[in-house]
Structure 1
């Protein structure tokens, strides 16, 4: 019997469908691309212009660092389909049919909870405490503006007498920013999909976990090569 952390070799997660919702971190994509360019620029410069052991050290360093940069910045993604949630983390790909998802949790990180008791972090949907605090302040300002507008008799508080501005009227429009942080909105969207599809017959099945050896193997090889070069002096 296949367990969540030890799937059978023949069990392969299905590829994401074309109509799946894809969630990724724009900040991680931008930062990872910039870091990758810097690493490759410095690495190839040392590889072709270095002397002695420098080219070999540069090669080993790139073999180690490039897969890790890709794993933690460009690789993470969440694919939400009608039947399953596919979580691509740095070193694992977890496929969870909606019927096996117990819930979603947001704290200092965003996680999906399986009915088996396992929990998996959503690397592609990081929590931004700063964005969350800004959303809370925005909600508080909107509530305060609405309360002042009601007290002054205005329907939305945009042009009710306030004692400020031209002719005693406030000219500041209503706050049209998002009511919650972007990642919190993503978790709310995933929660709605879970509620809608959790009992669907096509959304039942087993959880599969596949390790990303294509990422881990080059990094381990680079680390071993770098250790050997440093050891031999």
Structure 2
């Protein structure tokens, strides 16, 4: 599941700046915090109570593990406004103007495809097959929990496409609703002047650097013995 939020980017003097819709995975954030607490507790215990090489190994392990945990749990996010889609994945940041977005696909993972055919996965919008099945059951049951003649009620059929009384019957999984919003933005802004440009991809050296340094130090300590 993902939760949208809003954030105002730096102001642009030429025109009112669009507000970002921010999508993150609550489950990823909770899991990341728990992992960091466990790793931090074990690492600090080894640093304080360890003997010989143990504190150094613990320190190198922390330098390696902490950035990796952050990268794959707390870091992923999707930022969308009227001009572009910015995807912050564990190791890369991809910026796609809406004019370069060819499609947004949902199957076993959610991904965006640019006009050149390159695919980029949306790490912060994970697919939950369980949530999809639950939403489908709720849509079939209707507002009173019964399907009447055994078929989906008109309310369920309408909200299955994110319309009608979707607020009353959550007939779409959260990740699917996020993808619906992104598709609407892509369709509405594809030809807008402010939504044109080139796709840019930047590696997350701020994550890769510390992790690589920790791995090198850990390897040296293990080799030296």
Bigger relative contact order (CA 8 A; separation at least 6): 1
Match of 2:207 in 1: 215
The match for 1:75 is 75
In structure 2, what is the equivalent of residue 47 of structure 1?
A: 47
Distance 2:103 2:47 in 1: 49
Q: Deviation digits for residues 93-137 of structure 1, max 9, x if unmatched? A: 000000000010001100000001101000000001110111111
Aligned to 1:181: 173
Other-structure match for 1:10: none
Tell me if the contact between 2:140 and 2:147 (Cα under 8 Å) persists in the aligned partners. no
Does residue 1:202 correspond to 2:194, yes or no? Answer: yes
Aligned pairs for 1:9-88 within 5 A: 19-88=19-88
Q: 203, 217, 225: which is aligned to 2:217? A: 225
Q: Which runs of 4+ in 1 moved over 3 A?
A: 14-18, 143-150
Which residue in the other structure is 1:90 paired with? 90
Aligned mate of 1:191, from 183, 194, 208:
183
The one-character-per-residue Cα deviations of 1:163-189 (angstroms, maximum 9, x if unpaired) are xxxxxxxxxxxx944111000000001
Change (3 A) 1:109 1:55: same
- Residue 130 of structure 2 corresponds to 130
Alignment partners' CA distance in 2, 1:181 and 1:136: 8
**Backbone CA RMSD of aligned residues:** 2.4
Structure 2, unmatched stretches of 5+, are 1-8, 12-16, 156-166
Q: Name the residue aligned to 1:114.
A: 114
Deviation at residue 149 of structure 1 after TM alignment: 10
Unaligned runs of 5+ in 1: 1-13, 157-174
- The secondary structure found in structure 2 opposite 1:104 is strand
**Cα 1:18–1:198, aligned 2, differ >3 Å: closer, same or farther?**
closer
Residues 44 and 34 of structure 1, relative CA distance in 2, 3 Å threshold:
same
- Conservation of the 8 A alpha-carbon contact between 2:18 and 2:81: no
CA–CA distance in 1 between the matches of 2:220 and 2:102? 47
> Is residue 145 from structure 1 mapped to residue 146 from structure 2 by the alignment?
yes
In structure 1, distance between residues paired with 2:219 and 2:18: 43
SS of 1:102's partner is strand
Shift of 1:146: 5.0
